[in-house]
């Protein structure tokens, strides 16, 4: 199955799943669980789960709508699938769902979750705060329902619902989420994909301030968890926030607005045994920004 997640995310990290699976196999002891602190579309997590690379996944997202949607996918599967198959897709519906998403307080999960799903499928590039495909006047070449394939999307939701016992969904600040995982550090690989340092506030509702990015870096420096982090390619990553950590620059396909190949950084926690990167991460093009010989490399154990 080519597409697993029912969500669309610009710069989604499903393409990293093979590398993450390869990384997990090299760890000692091998982790059997996988966690995402900023799950979004959770493409890598779902791929690892369905490919039986892991026994359990932890999906966390602070965005109330995104968290509600994941709870619906795994705990109100059929109700959500039926709504996908039957609900109206129009500009009037878009205004209604946009209002629900922007005022989530007191909403039932199924109401908020479906509205989030609707906006993700009907907005440009899946960005929840963007305008609808085709514009509000629907004068564009593509219309609002261009990415709303009811039958296929409902099937994805039903397929994922079968795995509900192997998925934990949470709606926490990423920093608190990471701390709560620490007692199970021997069994978990943590992936952290925070909003970009640049333009992150435009793409995501739960964007981070400069102080938040610094706090996250402090927590990752101190945690005993084995972790991998990806960021936009910004010199603050290697010169300030994660100075001294192994970092590789890699190419990855982005689909926000215009499809293009972008450049990002992957930062590796010191607890990780690190296998080769080439041909696995992103599009296969990479270069080391720092020495990869840290406390534990692929030859250190």
With CA atoms as reference, report the closest residue to 232 among 215, 211, 254, 205.
254
Q: What is the DSSP string of 101-145?
A: HH--TT--HHHHHHHHHHHHHHBGGG-TTSPBTTTTTT-SSS-TT
Report the C-alpha gap between 288 and 180 in whole angstroms: 31
Q: What is the pLDDT of residue 286?
A: 73
**Distances 272 to 111, 186, 246 between C-alpha atoms, Å:** 41, 12, 10
Look at phi and psi of residue 227 and say left if phi exceeds 0, alpha if psi is from -120 to 50, else beta: beta
Q: What is the pLDDT of residue 251?
A: 81
Q: For 265, phi and psi rounded to 5 degrees?
A: -110, 145
Per-residue confidence in pLDDT tens, the chain, 301 aa: 678 999 998 767 888 999 999 999 999 999 999 999 999 999 999 999 999 999 999 999 999 999 999 999 999 999 999 999 999 999 999 999 999 999 999 999 999 999 999 999 999 999 999 999 999 999 999 999 999 999 999 999 999 999 999 999 999 999 999 999 999 999 999 999 998 887 644 445 567 889 999 999 999 999 999 999 999 899 999 999 999 999 999 887 655 455 556 789 999 999 999 877 655 565 566 788 876 655 444 333 3
Residue 75, burial from CB neighbour count under 10 angstroms (0-12, 13-18, 19+): middle
pTM of the predicted model over 0.85:
yes
**pLDDT for the residue 288:** 80
Using alpha carbons, select from 220, 186, 181 the residue that is nearest to residue 31.
Answer: 186
Q: Where are the domains of the chain?
A: 14-62+172-288
Q: What is the pLDDT of residue 53?
A: 97
User: Strands 260-268 and 226-232: what pairing?
Assistant: antiparallel
- Domain 14-62+172-288: give its CATH code: 3.40.50.150
Tokens 């870096």 belong to which residue? Answer: 217
């Amino acid at each position: 199955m080519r597409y697993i997640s029912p969500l669309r995310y610009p710069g989604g990290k499903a393409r990293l799943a093979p590398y993450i699976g390869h990384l997990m196999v090299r760890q000692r002891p091998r982790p059997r669980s996988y966690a995402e602190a900023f799950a979004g579309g959770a493409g890598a997590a779902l791929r690892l789960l369905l490919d039986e690379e892991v026994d359990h996944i932890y999906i966390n997202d602070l965005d109330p709508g995104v968290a509600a949607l994941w709870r619906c996918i795994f705990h109100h599967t059929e109700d959500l699938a039926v709504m996908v198959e039957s609900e109206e897709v129009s500009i009037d519906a878009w205004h209604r769902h946009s209002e629900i998403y922007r005022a989530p307080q007191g909403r039932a999960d199924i109401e908020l979750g479906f509205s989030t799903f609707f906006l993700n499928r009907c907005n440009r590039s899946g960005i929840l705060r963007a305008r609808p495909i085709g514009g509000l006047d629907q004068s564009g070449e593509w219309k609002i329902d261009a990415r709303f394939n009811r039958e296929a999307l409902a099937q994805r939701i039903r397929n994922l619902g079968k795995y509900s016992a192997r998925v934990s969904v949470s709606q926490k600040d990423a920093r608190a989420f990471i701390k709560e995982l620490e007692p199970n550090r021997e069994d978990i690989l943590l992936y952290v994909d925070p909003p970009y340092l640049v333009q992150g506030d435009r793409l995501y509702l739960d964007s981070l301030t400069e102080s938040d990015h610094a706090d996250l870096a402090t927590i990752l420096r101190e945690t005993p968890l084995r972790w991998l982090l990806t960021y936009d390619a910004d010199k603050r990553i290697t010169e300030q926030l994660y100075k001294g950590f192994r970092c590789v620059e890699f190419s990855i396909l982005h689909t926000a607005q215009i499809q293009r190949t972008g450049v990002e950084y992957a930062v590796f926690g010191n607890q990780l045994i690190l296998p080769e990167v080439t041909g696995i991460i992103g599009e296969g093009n990479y270069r080391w920004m720092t020495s990869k010989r840290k406390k534990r490399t692929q030859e250190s154990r």
